[in-house]
Amino acid sequence: MKMCAASLALFLLLLAAVVNAENLGISAPVMAWSNRAVFAKGKHVSYEVFPDVEQVATDLVLGVLGKAEASDFGVHGLSGEALSSEEPRTVVAFIGSQLDAADMRSRSDAVRSLDDVLSGAVSSLALPYSISKGDSIHETLCTKLDSAGIQHEVVGCSGPSTDIKLDVAAALAKGSNAKLHVVLVCSQIEDAQKGTNAGLSSEVEQLMAVQAAVKEANVNHVLVYATETMPTTDLLANGSKRRSLLAPLTGFGPYTTCGPLCQTQVRWLEGMLAVLFLALASCAGLVCLYVLDTPTRFEAPNKDAAPQQ
């Protein structure tokens, strides 16, 4: 009966994993690109799953500035030559709320614009499998930048920006003499557009305005686009939840196949199901033996007993 208890425990464990999967977080991709060879692999898409987009975005910004710890994500995938350079570094972090991994598989105008920006950059990095727990990227970044003593300006996060391009240009001008400078920009989406394709298009338009301001400033820069998710109640109020926990595949394009991450998850699930079925079969066999009282060995004659006449 111990086998039955073990199989029941395994089944409950799998059930708990499925239930808890709904609470893992919400898809919140991160993308970064630069007019310098900042990223070691040039133009790269990472298939790794990152469970905390707030920490990933913070470590990425600090890594570009050369302030990330060795264990942080910020130094992974970055060019050592770029980090050792003494030239001024400017990071513009655009914090949005409308992009998810499922959107990255579509061929909408907004996604094409992002694709063009990444393709035209000298180096870029896309992390579509990052997950948000709902914390504020803006607050996390500001706290870390204050602790590191790095000058930073904020546009559109505390209040609406009348002209996001001009405000970003002014923020860049304030840090023109600083060696390390960060500009945080928050997207501004109307409530009626949140969670819709129109909201994503509006957000990408603002991102393109920020990109234009950075380009006109003619500075060596890294632009980070991170997604700060909305509360679930806001998404439900707008009709349907457009976000998915993880997209079947990443990158740009109408993919219809299962990518490396998907295949790994399928193999893991197949293995767990095989173990579960074997445990259930063993349990069923033991139950049958117990109920039917089927002997597992037959009696053997006693060699010491006297032979019968």
Q: What is the pTM (predicted TM-score) of this model? A: 0.67
- In which band, very low, low, confident or very high, does the pLDDT at 99 lie, cut at 50, 70 and 90? confident
Of 248 and 12, more confident: 12
Average pLDDT over residues 133-161: 88
d(CA 286, CA 104) in angstroms, rounded, equals: 51
- In which band, very low, low, confident or very high, does the pLDDT at 306 lie, cut at 50, 70 and 90? low
pLDDT tens digits along 35-76: 888 887 778 787 788 888 888 888 889 888 888 765 455 445
Of 216 and 2, more confident: 216
Of 258 and 117, more confident: 117
Measuring CA to CA, which residue among 60, 217, 227 is closest to residue 138?
A: 227
Q: What is the pLDDT of residue 231?
A: 53
Q: What is the pLDDT of residue 65?
A: 85
Average pLDDT over residues 163-176: 91
Q: Where are the domains of the chain?
A: 2-19+264-292, 25-259
Of 92 and 229, more confident: 92
Average pLDDT over residues 281-291: 80
Full DSSP string of 147-215: HHT-EEEEESSSS--S-HHHHHHHHHHHTTT-SEEEEEEE----GGGTTSHHHHHHHHHHHHHHHHHHH
Q: What is the pLDDT of residue 105?
A: 74
Q: What is the pLDDT of residue 168?
A: 94
pLDDT tens digits along 192-242: 888 888 999 999 999 999 999 999 998 889 999 998 875 544 444 443 434
Arithmetic mean of pLDDT over the chain = 76
Of 306 and 163, more confident: 163
- In which band, very low, low, confident or very high, does the pLDDT at 4 lie, cut at 50, 70 and 90? low
Of 170 and 294, more confident: 170
Q: What is the pLDDT of residue 247?
A: 40
22-31, 84-93, 214-223: which is most confident: 214-223
Give the gyration radius of the chain's Cα atoms: 28
Residue 93 phi, psi dihedral angles, 5° rounding: -105, 110
pLDDT tens digits along 239-280: 343 444 334 444 444 344 465 677 788 888 988 999 999 999
- In which band, very low, low, confident or very high, does the pLDDT at 88 lie, cut at 50, 70 and 90? confident
The CA-based angle 118-121-126, given to 5 degrees, is 40
Q: What is the pLDDT of residue 79?
A: 55
Q: What is the pLDDT of residue 177?
A: 82
Q: Are 36 and 257 in contact (CB under 8 A)?
A: no
